[in-house]
Amino acid sequence: TLNFSLSTDKNARRLECFGWLLVIISLLFITLTFPVTLFMCVKIVKEYERAVIFRLGRIVDRKPKGPGLFFVLPCTDNFVKVDLRTVSFDIPPQEILTKDSVTVSVDGVVYFRIHCPISAVANVSNAHTSTRLLAQTTLRNVLGTKNLSELLSDREGISVSMQEALDEATDSWGIKVERVEIKDVKLPQQLQRAMAAEAEASREARAKIIAAEGEMNASRALKEAALVINEAPSALQLRYLQTLNSIAAEKNSTIIFPLPIDMMQSFMQKK
């Protein structure tokens, strides 16, 4: 084991020496052919971009370059541009079985950005594709623990839970998930008809209950009014006059012959 480690260290040192030799040769080449190699060495990245430079297979300074101008060595360096802008993509419709055994089709949209270019290049082969695939899996896992009623009424809570799960999973990739939204929930046709019938029956039941409560309140009010009129006989006469006034205002062609209530009382006493 000791001999193997010593030989490995010697090979690493030889590679490092060879690498530095290539760097020196590149610098000499740039110095000798400066006007020609100027365009090969000078690179530009935009304000929303960063460049991760690899020199002999290793990341230079462990930090990205940019925005603006930066220099690369023609023989030993290569770089990868990383876009830091927020990217959005649609989650394709997913056939999901909810907790109460209902099959629904759900799609959504995810907004994310790269906040660490080094991790996005070194820790994952394709950050955008990996995030898309992970979003589809996370959508299935999260919605599989929800009932149909929760899925239809608590979209905001589902979006927050999905965002937290995605953000935690993609943190090592240098990606920040900013927002997740559920776009549409498609139900089977039979289930839609059943839900519509249930909603209609519920509305009819509530309408009947409201009508019954209104009749009960009206009967109580009439009972209280009758008690008040019974205590004050003159109130009945005033109510009679108000009725005549309202009839005369609405239908002017109607002829009314008022009959005194006292005469009716005399006839009733004789009987």
pLDDT in tens, 223-267: 887 777 777 767 767 777 777 777 666 656 665 666 666 666 666
Q: Which pair of structure tokens corresponds to residue 132?
A: 């898309």
What CATH class is the domain 86-187? Answer: alpha beta
Nearest to 108 by CA among 182, 177, 185, 187: 182
Give the distance from CA 241 to its chain's centroid: 65
CA 210, CA 240: separation in Å to the nearest integer?
31
Instruction: Give the pTM.
Output: 0.63
Mean pLDDT of 37-50: 80
CB 128 within 8 A of CB 175: no
CA 229, CA 236: separation in Å to the nearest integer?
6
Domain ranges within the chain, ordered by starting residue? 17-80, 86-187, 207-269
CA 61, CA 70: separation in Å to the nearest integer?
13
pLDDT tens digit sequence for 182-223: 888 888 777 667 777 777 788 888 888 988 888 888 888 888
- Residues whose CB is less than 8 angstroms from the CB of residue 70 and which lie 6 or more positions away in sequence, other chains included: 42, 43, 44, 45, 51, 53
CA 50, CA 116: separation in Å to the nearest integer?
10
CA angle 62, 65, 68 (to 5 degrees): 170
pLDDT at 11 over 50: no
DSSP state for residue 173 in the 8-state scheme: G
pLDDT at 19 over 90: no
- Residues whose CB is less than 8 angstroms from the CB of residue 151 and which lie 6 or more positions away in sequence, other chains included: 98, 104, 106, 143, 158, 185
DSSP state for residue 21 in the 8-state scheme: H
